Structure 1
Amino acid sequence: MNQQIQMVDLKTQYLRIKDEIDQALLAAVEETAYINGPQVKAFIESLKSFNQVKYAVTCGNGTDALQIAMMGLSFKPGDEVIVPAFTYIATVEVIALLGLIPKFIDVRPDTFELDYEQLESKITDRTVAVVPVHLFGQCSNMEAINAIAEKHGLAVIEDTAQAMGAEYIYSDGTRQFAGTVGTIGTTSFFPSKNLGCFGDGGALFTNDEALAQRVHMIANHGQRQKYHHESIGVNSRLDTIQAAVLNVKIKYLKEYVEARQAIARRYDSHFLNLNGLSIPARVTYSTHVFNQYTCKVADGRRDALKAFLQERGVPSMVYYPIPVHLQQAYLLYGYKAGDFPVSELLCKDVISLPIHTEMEIETQDYIIEQVNAFFSHGS
């Protein structure tokens, strides 16, 4: 390949809509309302419209969104929150920061989602919530999770950082966007996300008016009225400039999702019968927006494949090399190797291939050729 392959090509994506982005940025700068400017309010309306949800609250990043959600739900130190052992660290980090207890649960080996069949066995009299993570761009089984949560009086916090634009499909065929199916949903606008800004950003979604008011207040120093602080809060705001970028890009989100899905289908067609590689599984209850195209490599050959591809100019990523319960910072909760065997095995088997909205057929062909070469040559 003459040009360098990237996991995500943000520059070309920007150049494609450069005029709109530049105009939006210039308008934000000329307004000089850098905090809570009109672009933030406009983006909130765009978010609500896109996700078909009553309330959206923007904040500084996806991690803050999770923390603000838990603060808004009035959890107390010592309360337990059920969370997958196979996820990005932020999902668990905020639980620990608030003095809550992460109650880990294993994931399903094919879809990487929280294993809802184990969920009820993890609930104790201290459990207050469950956090389904819509990992890599596909929803967890929300009907099953919501039914169990309702039975036991638990809140459901959807971590939608990797699944913005995905649709949950109910058994009767009706649909709702990821992040709007549980008690409250959170997302991230990190640049590499399907809807990404030019820095950090995040948001929360809910149809509960009282909860929306609480999280909005918490994100703004615990105040509804300036200098009148009703609760302990945080300072977590989406910058006006980032909102300006996002309010342009959200118009293209459906197009971005479709582009990723087309690339994923093409990967599938070439890898479906490749011995030693498992393509991403699809569920009937969700669309997949492919924030990542994550495969499993059999027989302990994942690292060899990664090295092989790197030598040939093909980047790849491992999300995630260590399950959360075995991270040094979380050993204090008393978990050990063997407690969550599926998560532990996935950390040794998964690999994510390049996928982004601007990928050209020639680039994808080269990646496919190299992956096939690895398995056909028995490397």
Structure 2
Amino acid sequence: MIPLFDLTRQYMRIRGEVLDAIDRTISSGRVILGENVRRLEEEVADFVGVKHGIGVASGSDALLIALQAMGVGTGDVVVTTPYTFFATASAPYRLGARVIFVDVEESTFNMDLNHLEHVLRKEKVKAVIPVHLFGRTMDLEALSFLKEKYGVMVLEDCAQSFGSEWRFENGEIRKSGSVGDAAIFSFFPTKNLGTYGDGGMIVTDNDRIAEECRMLRVHGARKKYFHEKVGYNSRLDEIHAAILRVKFRYLEKWTEERLRVAKTYQRLFEERGLPVIYPGVEEKGFRYHVFHQYVVLLENEETRDRVRKGLSERGIQTAIYYPLPLHLQRCFSDLGYKEGDFPVAESLSKRSLALPMFPELSDEEIEEVVKTVEMFI
């Protein structure tokens, strides 16, 4: 069998270090908001290029807490994409905001900034949540321009893009998560930097937002048992922080291995001349894609489903991200959207297929995947 992702292979490479970190943490007697959480927050903030990191219980909680800290509430307008994981839209919705979707680009799977600007011209928008989907950075310079032009707040959803970059026209290279008022990361087990459970982090350069996030994650209290707001029980566990600090040391190596996997897929697809649209790997001098997922596009839904079935029959796991765009989800029916409103997102949901992608995937396994795709395409 060739899995979509394989946590076991990675774990066996670092098992001793992980177990040592867990043992040291438990032996210390400090398992909630201790030294590992504090140091991981500092390390991640420094890596992204901002001042503050705030560890929370999940990426989903990070979205909710960050938005609340940014002042999003009932009646505010928040713009995001319909082609992303559910939590991106559910967070502002839960806070009582009016969620407006804008379509995505087929070439990047990311928010179409032309469509975004159209909404910014018409609506009084409080915040925008762009998503760097599958590990591909959206145009941070264009995003920064719109942020300043329209005076809108930006919360970057970097759940899938830890370490991805963008180069500005002046030559400056910045990481995803560094241009918004705040950004969030997910440490879900399958993420490029993931723990063995749930975890998340908010990063920001804004002192007030950071202070508010720290308060909200502990039931809205700056001082224990004295609550200024109704917050959440959403702390990153000390054990998970210890594990993440071990894995963080290997992130650069693992990212390079993901790029190797992507380049191998690209070479094999090119050699066979298959009618598959794949995420190309270009030498641009910066890491615009970190390949959290390797998602290809097939001609139509029938072809996609046939190829997926053939791969499954031969023990090759795949996934569909995402089978139903958010504007068509039943829980968002009150937003008034209908089929056909976002044609690119709807087309992608019918044609996309995620192939196996993880650092330890061998060239032989990749070749088997591509050969099987060729058989059923």
Superposition TM-score, scaled by structure 1 size: 0.95
| 1:127 match: secondary structure | coil
Which residue of 114, 119, 125 maps to 1:117?
Answer: 114
Q: In the alignment, what sits opposite 1:191?
A: 189
Q: In the alignment, what sits opposite 2:291?
A: 290
Q: In the alignment, what sits opposite 1:90?
A: 87
Q: In the alignment, what sits opposite 2:339?
A: 337
Superimposed CA distance per residue, residues 312-365 of structure 1 (whole angstroms, 9 cap, x where no aligned partner): 111111000000000111111100001000000000000010010111222122
Q: In the alignment, what sits opposite 2:249?
A: 251
Q: In the alignment, what sits opposite 1:363?
A: 365
Deviation for aligned residue 1:282? 6.1
Q: In the alignment, what sits opposite 2:59?
A: 62
Instruction: Note the residue ranges of structure 1 that are not aligned, 5 or more in a row.
Output: none
**One-letter code of the match for 1:319?**
Y
**One-letter code of the match for 2:275?**
G
Q: In the alignment, what sits opposite 1:205?
A: 203
| 1:131 and 2:136 aligned | no
Query: How many Å separate the matches in 1 of 2:141 and 2:163?
Result: 18
Superimposed CA distance per residue, residues 273-305 of structure 1 (whole angstroms, 9 cap, x where no aligned partner): 634210115686861100000010013311111
Q: In the alignment, what sits opposite 2:353?
A: 351
Q: In the alignment, what sits opposite 1:142?
A: 140
Which residue of 233, 236, 257 maps to 2:234?
Answer: 236
**One-letter code of the match for 2:300?**
D
Q: In the alignment, what sits opposite 1:47?
A: 44
**One-letter code of the match for 2:73?**
K
Bigger mean CA offset, 41-50 vs 305-314: 41-50
Superimposed CA distance per residue, residues 247-285 of structure 1 (whole angstroms, 9 cap, x where no aligned partner): 100011111111101100110111136342101156868
Deviation for aligned residue 1:52? 2.7
Deviation for aligned residue 1:201? 0.2
Which residue of 218, 223, 226 maps to 2:224?
Answer: 226
Query: CA, structure 1 residues 100+282, in 2 after alignment: closer, same or farther (shift >3 Å)?
Result: farther
Superimposed CA distance per residue, residues 29-87 of structure 1 (whole angstroms, 9 cap, x where no aligned partner): 11121211222112112212322321111100000000011100111201111110111
Q: In the alignment, what sits opposite 1:178?
A: 176
Query: CA, structure 1 residues 13+286, in 2 after alignment: closer, same or farther (shift >3 Å)?
Result: closer
Would the aligned equivalents of 1:68 and 1:219 in 2 still touch at CA under 8 Å? Answer: yes
| 1:194 match: secondary structure | coil
Superimposed CA distance per residue, residues 80-133 of structure 1 (whole angstroms, 9 cap, x where no aligned partner): 111101111110011111111110000001111100011121124431011110
Which residue of 78, 86, 90 maps to 2:75?
Answer: 78
| 1:17 and 2:18 aligned | no
Query: CA, structure 1 residues 367+275, in 2 after alignment: closer, same or farther (shift >3 Å)?
Result: closer
Which residue of 288, 302, 305 maps to 2:304?
Answer: 302
Structure 1 ranges of 4+ moved more than 4 A:
281-286
| 1:176 match: secondary structure | strand
| 2:126 match: secondary structure | strand
Query: How many Å separate the matches in 1 of 2:200 and 2:78?
Result: 21
Percent of matched pairs sharing the same residue: 37
Deviation for aligned residue 1:227? 2.1
Would the aligned equivalents of 1:46 and 1:250 in 2 still touch at CA under 8 Å? Answer: no
Would the aligned equivalents of 1:142 and 1:182 in 2 still touch at CA under 8 Å? Answer: no
Would the aligned equivalents of 2:300 and 2:350 in 1 still touch at CA under 8 Å? Answer: no
Q: In the alignment, what sits opposite 2:279?
A: 280
Query: How many Å separate the matches in 1 of 2:319 and 2:263?
Result: 20
**One-letter code of the match for 1:335?**
Y
Query: How many Å separate the matches in 1 of 2:138 and 2:306?
Result: 30
Superimposed CA distance per residue, residues 130-185 of structure 1 (whole angstroms, 9 cap, x where no aligned partner): 11100000111122122112222110110000000111221222111111121111
| 1:17 match: secondary structure | helix
**One-letter code of the match for 1:292?**
Q
Q: In the alignment, what sits opposite 1:319?
A: 321
Q: In the alignment, what sits opposite 2:101?
A: 104
Query: How many Å separate the matches in 1 of 2:49 and 2:248?
Result: 14
| 1:278 match: secondary structure | coil
Q: In the alignment, what sits opposite 2:258?
A: 260
| 2:174 match: secondary structure | strand
Would the aligned equivalents of 1:66 and 1:94 in 2 still touch at CA under 8 Å? Answer: yes
Alignment RMSD, CA only?
1.5
Query: How many Å separate the matches in 1 of 2:212 and 2:166?
Result: 26
Q: In the alignment, what sits opposite 1:8?
A: 5
Deviation for aligned residue 1:374? 2.3
| 1:277 match: secondary structure | coil
Deviation for aligned residue 1:191? 0.1
| 1:187 match: secondary structure | strand
How many pairs align? 372
